[in-house]
Amino acid sequence: MNAAMPWLDARRAEALESFRLKGVPHRRIEEWKYSDVRSVIGAEEIAAADTAKWQIEGETADVDVVDLSGEIPQWARDRFAMLGLHNAMESASLAFAKGGIAMRVTGNKAAGPLRLNWSGHGHARVFIVLEEGASLTLVEKHAKARGLRNIGTEILLANNAQLSHIAVAEKSDEAVGVETITVKVGPDARYNAHFANFGARLSRFDITVTLEGEGSEARLSGVSALGGGTHADVTTHIIHAVSHTQSVQLFKKVAAGKSRAIYQGQITVREGANGSDSRQTAKGILLGERAEIDLKPELEIYADDVKCAHGAAVGDLEAEQLFYLRARGVPEAEARNLLIRAFLEEAVLEIPEEAIRAEVWREVEAALEHLV
Amino acid sequence: MLEIKDLHVTVDGKEILKGLNLSIKAGEVHAVMGPNGSGKSTLSFTLAGRAGYDVTKGSILYRGEDLTALAPEERAAKGIFLAMQYPVEIPGVTTLTFLKASLNAQRRARGESELDAMSVLKLVREKAKLLNIPEEMLRRALNVGFSGGEKKRLETLQMALFEPALAILDETDSGLDIDALKLVAEGVNAMRSPDRAMLVITHYQRLLNYIVPDRVHVLAGGRIVAEGGKELAHELEAKGYAQIIKDAA
């Protein structure tokens, strides 16, 4: 992305313009109501930020991996940065990033698991293409950081492709982490994602999935276990663009101390997307009087014969469950721990790959150790 | 074993138990019978130490020790077991995990060594067999989707596993058909022992055909208003609560 590329320069100029116009997201913008980026970082600082560092681990024989700090590969050119600018932070990532990573899997190959490890701070772009019938398992890990890490990720899934995407954001008190993920899911393709977010000064995964092929599917899940003064926001927008598409979401959050966990989930079923099936569940347990959990499901349905089931609830641990365990001899702290783990585990069990599930679960347990 | 004197208990600011007296010796089985709203569940929750059941007056002595200051888990470790009327569903915690956690917590509190997963499984299997509890049930989430009979059988299994000194059975017959009732009663009867006291709390006499008590107490308006042998239960069934309470007044 360093070399002059006229086709890209135009897109980046547009992104810069968009960032300038929109400005840094703040709480009076409805979608950023719970994540006031402007209160933690200014426009100049965002513009001056460096480029975040990445490193790939795992078997890459079946994957074309390209470092975007150089030339953008031919296969990416007509598609890169074409999914639209979803928010000011994504615009900033395109305008200011000097690098990032592109990955492609072709021809019915099943690749991964690959690990994409982020370190340092600054902007970066990620571009993932799974061609027809290809599949990939990708674990994306955000290591602790100081300051801004702002990633703009585009994912294109062709017919029958499958991406299993597990993103883990480590607890990072001083980080401002935003990753904007835009996914297009083709016919019979599937986007399976899990977001485990352990909190930062400000942390947001902002995911837009368009189910644009018949038979396409998105399964999103996630957990947050927060303490101290940390913040973790997972905002999703699922668009059922055509008929016979399916989405399932399950998010679980616990918040202790003065932390704040957020889930915003918008579902749009477009006109003509008949026979779509959309399920969405978000639940939170507050572990402290000063903690906050905001769950905001939102449904927009313009089609007929649609199945939509959604539920959101925040509460305390169930007093009856707690008493039952204690009456059988389990001490209060252990009983609370058992109930909280059971609560979060349901969402972690959505991760299909056993080894990765176990790894995420260990992170959850480590986070809980400091909370319960 | 258990000595309750002039017990007054308030729930949500309302006095439910109003001077209850009850005494049970080791080896005995006592029944507390009473109409709806008489304070039966309040008595059982108070004995188990549930939050919100405030003892405002009187005393509960268990093996000579004042119970009222103890947390529920401390009472459990000291050998008090409440088989609940409505066993609670706990999604995400398998029955076996729960049994191991509670058994070992009790052992730990008593200064005994913890049992490993294999030893717990062996012990549970042995007890489960007698109660006709299939292994598959033990691998399901605790009480989730269990039938009324399954839940009560699991409560009985826990009683067998924990071997409490004082077992309180709260409306164990509710929601059971006759076969399930017999099975549960057999499990309870197998636990009768000279070292163990049992308190059977029930609305109906039916259960007492299967678990025959040494003494019967009638609870009404938060107090014991009548006492007698097992024949009192039959009398209650024949005459109804209203008549017995009137006779006692």
Q: What is the pLDDT of residues B120-139, one digit of tens each?
A: 999 999 999 888 899 999 99
Phi, psi of A92 (to 5 degrees): -60, -40
For residue B94, the chain A residue with the least C-alpha distance is A342
How far is B196 from chain A, CA to nearest CA, in Å?
A: 18
For strands B29-33 and B53-62, give the pairing. Answer: unpaired
C-alpha distances in angstroms, A111 versus A67, A108, A209, B130, B158? 18, 9, 22, 51, 48
Task: Band the pLDDT of B226: cuts 50, 70, 90.
Answer: very high
Cβ–Cβ of B109/A326 closer than 8 Å? no
B53 touching chain A per CB within 8 A: no
With 0-12 CB in 10 A as exposed, 13-18 as middle and 19+ as buried, what is B175?
Answer: middle
Q: Which of A323, A330, A345 sits opposite B101 (nearest CB)?
A: A330
Interface predicted TM-score (ipTM): 0.95
Tens-digit pLDDT profile for residues A31-51 = 999 999 999 999 999 999 999
- pLDDT, residue B248, reads 78
Residue B98 touches partner A, C-beta closer than 8 Å: yes
Q: Residue A82's pLDDT band (boundaries 50, 70, 90)?
A: confident
Chosen for mutation from A328, A332, A343 (greatest number of chain B CBs closer than 10 Å) is: A328
**pLDDT (0 to 100) of residue B243:** 87
Average pLDDT in the A43-66 region?
Answer: 95
User: What would the mean pLDDT of A52-65 be, rounded to a whole number?
Assistant: 95
Q: Is A339–B77 a contact, with Cβ atoms under 8 angstroms apart?
A: no
Share of chain A above pLDDT 70, in %: 99
Asked if the model's pLDDT at residue A371 lies above 90, the reply is no
Average pLDDT of span B27-36: 93
Phi, psi values for residue A369, rounded to 5°: -55, -35
Q: Is the pLDDT of residue B218 over 80?
A: yes
pLDDT tens-digit series, residues B171-187: 988 888 888 888 889 98
Confirm if B172 and B203 have CB atoms less than 8 A apart: no
Q: Which pLDDT does position A31 carry in this prediction?
A: 94
Q: How far apart are the CA of A298 and the nearest CA of chain B, in angstroms?
A: 27
Token representation of residue B43: 């008595």
Q: What pLDDT, on the 0 to 100 scale, is given for residue A84?
A: 83
Residue A288's Cβ-side half-sphere holds a number of Cα atoms within 13 Å equal to: 17
158-187 of B, contacting A, C-beta below 8 A: 158, 162
